[in-house]
Structure 1
Amino acid sequence: MGLSLTVLGCATPYPSTDNPCSGYLVSHNDTRVWMDAGTGTLGPLQRHTRLEDLDAIWISHLHADHSADLLTAYYALLYADIERDPVPLYGPPGIADRLAGFLTNGPQRSPVESAFAITELHDGHEAEVGSLRLTTRAVEHGIPAFAVRVDAGTSLTYSGDTTPCRSLTELASGTDVLLCEAESAVKTPDMAHHTPEDAGDTATSAGAGRLIITHVGRFLTPQEAVTRASARYGGEVDYATPGTTFTVG
């Protein structure tokens, strides 16, 4: 099985009735990585893989719409019908204490490390997960935030949440698919996101083979975002429709 991307959800900043927040399943052969665990994504994840079969979880940043379902995953992993070793979890610095802060309800710290084998990300971090190679770069979002490139013969680059920045363009250089957020409808001086035009520019500058627009803000329709991105990028542009599986390459 080649490299594929399944969209679990892409809403921001809260789920809609038919669209959870940001979450994606990246698959290659028998390797499965849950990439961002936004609000409501644990449910649809289980349509495609069991928690027992996950090889890793990768989290771009600690805003709730990208990480909140780690809390419910914790209960599933430790207190339900699942038996497995801790899931490798790659996330921003401080992720263990952030989880424990939410989960601890008494004098004893909740055993988050019993559910997750946690590795803190840094700029340039590399990891081998099954048949996948994950390369992480720090991006610009006002808090510690990261983008990731997944390589397995073909390549997928995910922006996470970020304003346009050199590190994302460098990471995505020559990538087969760029999965890029486009939350902002208009540019503002304090903008911490891409507009659709920015997503098109990033894809063009990186020489990406295909652009998938995701995390579109609520003041835009998906079609508006795709049309605006297409004005800046000459390749194929798609929207990350929840439930869709894209073949990479």
Structure 2
Amino acid sequence: MRLTVLGGCGAWPTADQACAGYLAEHAGFRLFVDPGYATFPRLLRHAPAASVDAVLISHGHPDHCAGLNPLLRARALADDPPPALPVYAPHGALDAVLTLDRPGMLAAAYRLHSFRPGDRLRIGPFTAETRLLPHHVPNAGIRLSAAGSVLAYTGDTGPSPDIAHLAEGADVLLSEATYARRVPAADAPYLLTAELAGRYARQAGAARLLLTHLWPGSDPAAALEAAGETFTRPAGVAVADLVLDF
């Protein structure tokens, strides 16, 4: 499996970093996970719009799904439109994004597959086991596997023992880490620290930790330092164009 990071900024994109966006590839199949704000131009550095085989979305916040609109526009308005794109998302998560254009304009460009966090999905060569994790809206943690390789992705989440279960023995845990060490009280049930991400990665026995969804302007070195207090295996921060093969 190959993972290409298209962005990893929380809440809104910065001049240098798009929001959540990850391209998972195996056996020639391209799965676009969480097309957040500003990820579509980053995608085009690695693959044309028509080459995406499916999209998988963890939850309906726009920093995780707003980039679906330009992807669908690029496919629908092409001179030779590709087949309808399978899009997998929790029930109702894409209601706002799919109504940005006039009714019917993009209808032929996608085929929506709604699921409930907890469902098991088969997407091309990938198996996606999903798990409900705590956030402001229903959020699906995703355990993506293919040919023995495992990527665990939290989406956006607050503290939960289910994170360690989701990532058990994973090659990579791609974990929400909005703050380094302390989440403001109002958001504490819904977001993670890098320190906690490290703890869950250690409990899971994950081989590698990749921190994502850092708050705009925060210091990646501080996040890595916090994670390193609880996780001693390789760790990094999700930045655009980072590629991992595992």
1:96, 1:113 within 8 Å by CA — same for their partners in 2? no
User: Taking structure 1 as reference, are residues 144 and 111 closer, same or farther at Cα in structure 2, changes over 3 Å only?
Assistant: farther
Q: How many residues align?
A: 242
Deviation of residue 87 (structure 1)?
Answer: 0.6
> Aligned Cα RMSD in Å?
1.6
Secondary structure of the corresponding residue to residue 197 of structure 1: helix
Give the aligned residue type for 1:187: V
Give me the whole-angstrom Cα distance separating, in 2, the residues matched to 1:115 and 1:95. 18
Query: Match of 1:209?
Result: 207
Deviation of residue 239 (structure 1)?
Answer: 1.3
User: Taking structure 1 as reference, are residues 147 and 112 closer, same or farther at Cα in structure 2, changes over 3 Å only?
Assistant: farther
Deviation of residue 147 (structure 1)?
Answer: 1.2
1:175, 1:209 within 8 Å by CA — same for their partners in 2? yes
For structure 1, the 5+ residue unaligned runs are none
State the TM-score, normalized to the length of structure 2.
Answer: 0.92
Give me the whole-angstrom Cα distance separating, in 1, the residues matched to 2:159 and 2:149. 24
- 2:15 is the counterpart of 1:17: yes
Deviation of residue 82 (structure 1)?
Answer: 4.8
Query: Match of 1:143?
Result: 137
Query: Match of 2:172?
Result: 177
2:4, 2:242 within 8 Å by CA — same for their partners in 1? yes
Give the aligned residue type for 2:206: A
State the TM-score, normalized to the length of structure 1.
Answer: 0.91
Give me the whole-angstrom Cα distance separating, in 2, the residues matched to 1:112 and 1:166. 39
Give the aligned residue type for 1:188: P
Q: How does 1:186-201 map to 2 (within 5 A)?
A: 186-190=182-186, 191=188, 192-201=190-199
Deviation of residue 171 (structure 1)?
Answer: 1.4
Of residues 52, 55, 59, the one that matches 2:53 is 55
2:117, 2:139 within 8 Å by CA — same for their partners in 1? no
Give me the whole-angstrom Cα distance separating, in 2, the residues matched to 1:236 and 1:189. 30
Of residues 117, 134, 145, the one that matches 1:123 is 117
Q: Which runs of 4+ in 1 moved over 6 A?
A: none
Secondary structure of the corresponding residue to residue 135 of structure 1: strand
Give me the whole-angstrom Cα distance separating, in 1, the residues matched to 2:105 and 2:239. 36
